[in-house]
Amino acid sequence: MATIFPSRRVRRTPFSAGVEAAGMSVCTVYNRMILPSVFASEEEDYRHLKTHVQVWDVSCERQVAVQGPDARRLLDMISPRDLDRMAPDQCYYMPAIDRDGGMLNDPVLVKLAEDHYWISVADSDYLHYVLGIADALALDVRVWEPDVSPLAVQGPKADDLMARVFGDEAREIRFFRYKRLAFQDTNFVVARSGYSKQGGFEIYVEGSSYGMPLWDTLMKAGEDLEVRAGCPSTKERVEGGLLSYGNDMARDNTPFECGLGKFVNSPRDYIGKAGLLARSEPVQQIRAVEIGGEIPPITAPWPLLADGRKVGQVTTATRSPDFGVNVSIAMVERSHWEAGTSLEVETPDGMRPATVHGKFWI
């Protein structure tokens, strides 16, 4: 297949030299930025992630910075999640919705100060939406994309690697909390978070010039831990039920359909509240679905059928080496979403048997 033409429109990252030298073999584009997809092979990358520790260039998780006297007012307008009890060192997974309650994004919100936040966005142009609300309401707030690139350190040995580079303080960071930890003549927001279920951290690298020095420091410090360059693993994230905006859900889904209803608790009159709450009893919902036989790569949703009638769609599917089955994420209608329900999936290679699982695999 052809390669991507280098241009300003598809952005490289502060770590691109590192991932290229480390042997990135397949990549994708996310928020108009390169995101590695494979280094050695999907299976090898997955096994290594679950055994050792990886450093991930997730720069494409761009920050929408919101700062100013009206920062909190703006967030209260767009957040279905109650921010009242958000601690000064906390991160929140936050559904972002439109006026009807449809999902626009599923970012991680990082609180830097009462008047300063980062919205760490998934793959949709959410900055423009936030800026539009701020301008339409003439809020006293600045909205922009700062020079901040997340570098994730994920895997069972993540604590050991981080302690070597940032000190034992890193070990004390709680889930979805952060500390500011020193590196050279600066410091970074370091959170215990990340797009895997293996445990780990996200370093919000502020200042592109620190990118390769930090990359090299982590790689050197982790040599005997067998640290490697890695990237989000489809196999691991489907086993863990981590959702991918644009794949597993999009604007035609509500947070309730996505299983994110627990994050809809704001008492305020945010945009889309009435429409969202009117849809709080979903007629379809995300489910873990096991698929039998051999399956091809999935590039468009596969219909889920019961007695020949469409009752949902599989949005991400892949072979799980550890569970010895094909694991998938699907949107399934209420009539057929109960655990144990037998269905059929229409793949491009033919029909395959499918079973609704009670929960995800990890």
Return residues touching ligand THG (CB under 6 A).
Answer: 61, 93, 106-108, 120-122, 150, 176, 193-195, 202, 242-243
* DSSP bridge partners of 286: 331
Residues 136-145, buried b or exposed e (16+ Cβ, 10 A)?
eeebebebee
Contact yes or no for 212/17 (Cβ under 8 A): yes
Instruction: Please name the helix (run of DSSP H) or strand (run of DSSP E) that holds residue 230, with its range, or none.
Output: strand 228-230
Tell the smallest beta-carbon distance from residue 343 to ligand THG (Å): 24
Matching residue, tokens 């410091």: 187
* DSSP bridge partners of 156: none
Tell the smallest beta-carbon distance from residue 2 to ligand THG (Å): 27
Tell the smallest beta-carbon distance from residue 179 to ligand THG (Å): 15
Q: Of the two residues 102 and 150, which places its CB atom closer to ligand THG in the complex?
A: 150
Q: Which two tokens stand for residue 51?
A: 């055994």
Tell the smallest beta-carbon distance from residue 170 to ligand THG (Å): 16
Tell the smallest beta-carbon distance from residue 121 to ligand THG (Å): 6
Q: Of the two residues 328 and 347, which places its CB atom closer to ligand THG in the complex?
A: 328
- DSSP E strands, 68-218: 91-93, 96-97, 103-105, 108-113, 116-120, 142-144, 148-154, 178-183, 186-191, 200-206
Tell the smallest beta-carbon distance from residue 152 to ligand THG (Å): 7
Q: Which two tokens stand for residue 45?
A: 């990358």
* DSSP bridge partners of 119: 64, 109
Q: Of the two residues 55 and 345, which places its CB atom closer to ligand THG in the complex?
A: 55
Q: Of the two residues 108 and 173, which places its CB atom closer to ligand THG in the complex?
A: 108
Q: Of the two residues 122 and 158, which places its CB atom closer to ligand THG in the complex?
A: 122
Tell the smallest beta-carbon distance from residue 228 to ligand THG (Å): 19
Cα–Cα separations (whole angstroms), residue 214 to 115, 190, 217, 225, 327: 29, 13, 5, 17, 35
Sheet-wide strand order for 108-113:
91-93, 108-113, 116-120, 63-67, 142-144
Q: Of the two residues 181 and 311, which places its CB atom closer to ligand THG in the complex?
A: 181
Those residues whose C-beta lies under 8 Å from the C-beta of residue 274, and which sit 6 or more positions away, are none
Tell the smallest beta-carbon distance from residue 245 to ligand THG (Å): 6
Q: Of the two residues 262 and 309, which places its CB atom closer to ligand THG in the complex?
A: 262
Q: Of the two residues 103 and 143, which places its CB atom closer to ligand THG in the complex?
A: 103
Residue type, 149: S
Sheet-wide strand order for 228-230:
178-183, 186-191, 200-206, 148-154, 54-57, 228-230
Q: Which two tokens stand for residue 44?
A: 């090898």
